[in-house]
Amino acid sequence: MSMTWASGLIRRTRPISVAAVNSLILASLPGVAQERRPNVLLIVADDAGYSDIGSFGGEIQTPSIDALASVGVRFTNFNVSPTCSPTRSMLLSGADNHSAGLGNMAEFTAPNQKGKPGYEGYLSENIAPLPALLRDAGYNTYMAGKWHMGDEPRHYPAARGFIRDLTLIPGGGSHMDDMWGAHGERQLYTYNGKPLEALRPGFHSSEDYTTAIIDNIEENRADGKPFFAYLALQAPHDPFQLPAEWLDRYEGRYDEGYDATRAARIERMKALGLLAPDATVFPRLPSVPAWNELSAEEKRESARRMELYAAMVENMDENIGRLIGYLKTSGLYDDTLIIFLSDNGPEGNAWQIGAPWDNSNMEDWGKKGTFIQYGPAWAQVGAGPLRMFKGFLSEGGIRTPLIVSGKDVTGSGRISDALVHVMDIPATILDAAGVAHTETFEGKKVAPLQGKTLAPVLSNGSDTVRGPNDWIGWELFGNRAIQQDNWKLLWLCKPFGAGQWQLFDLEDDPGETTDLASQRPDIRDLLAGHWDEYVQTNNVILPDVSPVCGKTDAG
């Protein structure tokens, strides 16, 4: 069965769960006070940089997200995977991506990883999906946006716990109604678990995904159940495409160039208290010329790319504001925990595209049928002072904005430098919902919950999430990292790194500019031991070939 996406959702009936029945029975008993469980709104931006949001130092207009920051907590040391699908697998499982089925991106799985546990290329059946746990506990569960965790029906969002969805199943493509992928292939969308024949004429991803979530919530608002809504935005992932009225929103704003824009952002970050006054800055990449070395035409084209990107971010923010406004007018806002994050650092890699995309006329850039990216220079702007960008385990690839506000968040406009990992998000949501994780799911033993709840920081009862002996780890594309407290052990393959372990003190050196491995062998060796433990715990298989490191001697 296939259908055309249109405004309004199809109503279906579901068998009531045992948990929901128990909840109804308890609510009917005299003398039993029932505190309403919070709604949860999880908003994920796709490829937004650490400094793009206004409340994180950006000049882009993001009043809706900034309003959430003004009544919530900004986390300045929040860490994800350097690419989308591994992050999303951890976000919806609470397990490391090597346990959650995305030990590598499906499209880059190395020959020596294929067929191995943890490298299935989809959200593993050996985890307990967050939406399924919440659904079984009586939550309405909704998703709209990008999935990128399996393209077979048994892997769709509808099969992993969402009762309603409007989903782009693969990892990216057009934001418009043409349903094109990067190479002109047709992209698969689902609507409540069924493939879509076509999108609404005039479809734009940020607008339509947001509308779908609003419609989902409104459809079932009278049933009294709390909701978990996952708004997995496609913006501002390339191609940068916008409704006509948004195309020139930032005209002329970036004529000063990427060097000046980056410097201004870093100064604002310092003024906001997000960076220390003497924070280090990773230098402009040698492959990127200084702005004043570009020709007039090169400057014009480069600035135009950033204008479109900025408009994508503001358009995303406006739609988030529309959703927040709906929650307020419907009386749901005060009972909703709201979480905003980006899935990885800004995209600095330029991808090869082919027909039918046509970028030949700059006047048409940003319209349907064009595939505009902005490259490493502007990605370094998005990363602020941090090293590199998406695809790399340096800070620019894995440190992104996180804002948590709403139900049970104490204090307004607080900034936390607690070390936080994306696996902490499902742990926090389950904790807030009063739902326990499980050792088995659908008859299978599942990976344990590895994250830690953020509740102590959100309630303003603690400054930390982790103890001094806790650590977190990463591996992707053969690059690897371990962080404990402010110390980070990093291996980046050449030519992007040293091809060996480097050690950085992120408290003094967030730009990762000074390698202390030879000066502090005690810390280097301690963290290297944690790396060995990380490999064993998560069944890490280093790839014998990767899109970043090329051929390796792994495996």
State the catalytic residues.
Answer: 84, 148
Contact (CB, 8 A) for 327 and 336: yes
CB count within 10 Å of CB 412 equals 11
* Gap between the Cα atoms of 531 and 294, Å rounded: 43
Q: CB under 8 Å to 71, separation ≥6 — which residues?
A: 405, 406, 409, 412, 413
Element (H, E) at 42: strand 39-45
Is 106 in a helix, a strand, or coil?
helix
* Gap between the Cα atoms of 522 and 277, Å rounded: 29
The single-letter DSSP state of residue 278 is T
Contact (CB, 8 A) for 474 and 97: no
The encoded tokens of residue 531 equal 């790396």
Please report, for the chain, how many H helices and E strands are present, in that order.
Answer: 12, 21
* Gap between the Cα atoms of 199 and 178, Å rounded: 8
Helix axes 375-382, 296-329, angle to 10 degrees: 40
* Gap between the Cα atoms of 437 and 427, Å rounded: 8
Phi-psi region of 122 (alpha: psi -120 to 50; beta: other; left: phi over 0): beta
CB count within 10 Å of CB 363 equals 8
Nearest to 288 by CA among 381, 365, 371: 381
Contact (CB, 8 A) for 132 and 163: no
Give pairs for 320-328: CB < 8 Å, separation 24+: 320/43, 320/64, 320/65, 320/210, 320/231, 321/63, 321/64, 321/67, 322/210, 322/214, 323/41, 323/210, 323/213, 323/214, 323/231, 324/64, 324/67, 324/68, 326/214, 326/217, 326/218, 327/41, 327/217
Phi then psi dihedrals of residue 431, to 5 deg:
-60, -45
